[in-house]
Amino acid sequence: MQPATAASRRDAASGPVRPDASFDHLLEASRRELTGYCYRMLGAASEAEDAVQETMIKAWSRRDTFAGQSSLRTWLFRIAHNVCVDMLRSPQRRARPMDLGPSTRTADAVLGAPLTEGTFVQPIRDDRVIDTSGDPAVVAEARDTVRLAFIAALQHLPPLQRSALILCEVLRWSAAEVADLLDATTASINSALQRARKTMAGYEPSAGMPLEDPAHRDLLAKYLRAFESYDMDLLVSLLRDDVVLSMPPFDLWLSGPDDVIAWFVGKGSVCEGGRLLPLGVNGAGGFANYHLVEPGLWKPWAIQVIETAGGRIIGHHNFLYPELFDDFGLPPVIDERPAASPADADRAGTADESR
């Protein structure tokens, strides 16, 4: 859990503001790192964006009060931390469906009513919180700190412990720096960090396959082929025995290849004919799943997060929130319908006029 390096921390926002520096530029240079911090604190991309936007507004309105006694980075993170703490006053903790109750056999599965968006940890694109063009080893470690299981585990920590763990273990701040940011003592930060590590030890996720691993790329390519062709024999060969399938905003989840395949050929058969667009999401391979609505036309359906380990798929998480597609910068539709010929257009116009 140590993706940042000492060199990576010496960015445009790491020291006192230079007189000739553009304040706007310095704020924007901090956006990705602040988004990563807020996402890990809050567990949802939309809330992280709101927190960062509020941080930027507060920073801009208070820019004349920044005395340069600490780095701009520390000053911004202090504002962001306070914004996140205010947003965390809700008693509800975001979670995954697997954290809310036992799995269900497909034969007994009932979706029920969708739960509120605030119930679940929500996905985020890797490039919004990670510099994916950086050193591959650093990027790989950073991806581990945005995996769904890690984000869900963080939500079990009180805000002080959560912040201390993120700042020290993920962003590589020293305990003294965190103490300065949170107006606490170094001893209290070390104590909070120790308690946070103990809690997190009970939520250690399986080690995922590196995205750059050729075996991982091959596995995802086979999955894409299996899903789009709806080849259940191929799909089941890619699943580990303890694979889980989840579908927020529903709390239903399934476990094991038999129940996963039974779902896809039963109540989940509406997925047949779908199209997938690859994307990097939550440190894992993922896809935007478009639902077939008519021949040649697909519309947004779900963001898939495909977790892998040991050469097999261990998690198939489907976030059924079509509104996320715009946030992810994805096409609003996939339209491969044949273009109407001029003659067809003329006939359509004549038909309209005759009505």
Task: Write down the H helix ranges in the chain.
Answer: 6-9, 23-29, 31-42, 45-61, 72-87, 97-100, 136-144, 148-154, 159-165, 175-182, 186-200, 214-229, 232-237, 257-265, 324-327, 342-354
How would residue 18 be classed by pLDDT, with cut points 50, 70 and 90? very low
Q: Is 273 exposed, middle or buried (0-12, 13-18, 19+ CB in 10 A)?
A: middle
The listed CATH number (2.60.420.10, 3.10.350.10, 1.10.540.10, 3.10.450.50) that belongs to domain 214-335: 3.10.450.50
- What angle do the packed helices 175-182 and 186-200 form, to 10 degrees? 110
Domain spans, the chain: 6-203, 214-335
**Structure confidence at residue 14 (pLDDT):** 47
Calpha distance 272→280 (Å, rounded): 23
What phi-psi label fits residue 112: left (phi over 0), alpha (psi between -120 and 50 degrees) or beta?
left
pLDDT at 6 over 50: no
For residue 341 the two structure tokens come to 């010929």
φ, ψ dihedrals at 178, nearest 5°: -65, -40
**Structure confidence at residue 350 (pLDDT):** 57
Fold of 6-203: Butyryl-CoA Dehydrogenase, subunit A; domain 3 (1.20.140)
Contacts of 67 (CB under 8 A, 6+ apart): none
Calpha distance 51→87 (Å, rounded): 8
**Structure confidence at residue 349 (pLDDT):** 55
∠ CA 213-218-219, rounded to 5°:
95
For residue 217 the two structure tokens come to 């790329």
**Structure confidence at residue 209 (pLDDT):** 86
Q: Which range among 44-48, 86-90, 170-174, 250-254 shows the weakest confidence by mean pLDDT?
A: 86-90
With the CA atoms of 132, 160, 42 and 103 taken in that order, what torsion angle do they form, in degrees rounded to the nearest 10?
100
Query: What pTM value is reported for the model?
Result: 0.87
For residue 240 the two structure tokens come to 């580990």
∠ CA 236-294-348, rounded to 5°:
165
304-332 pLDDT, tens per residue?
999 999 999 999 999 999 999 999 999 99
How would residue 92 be classed by pLDDT, with cut points 50, 70 and 90? confident
Q: Which residue has the tokens 């579908």?
A: 247
**Structure confidence at residue 134 (pLDDT):** 86
pLDDT at 53 over 70: yes
Classify 156 as helix, strand or coil: coil
Burial track 70-109 (b if 16+ CB lie within 10 A, e otherwise): bbbbbbbbbbbbebbeebbeeeebbbbbbbeeebbebeeb
Q: Could you tell me which of 285, 284, 165, 178 has the C-alpha nearest to residue 224?
A: 285
Calpha distance 256→336 (Å, rounded): 35
Q: Which range among 111-120, 217-226, 254-263, 333-342 shows the weakest confidence by mean pLDDT?
A: 333-342
φ, ψ dihedrals at 144, nearest 5°: -60, -25
CB atoms within 10 A of CB 186: 14
Confirm if 84 and 41 have CB atoms less than 8 A apart: yes
For residue 2 the two structure tokens come to 């140590």
Calpha distance 217→201 (Å, rounded): 29
**Structure confidence at residue 73 (pLDDT):** 86
Calpha distance 316→306 (Å, rounded): 5
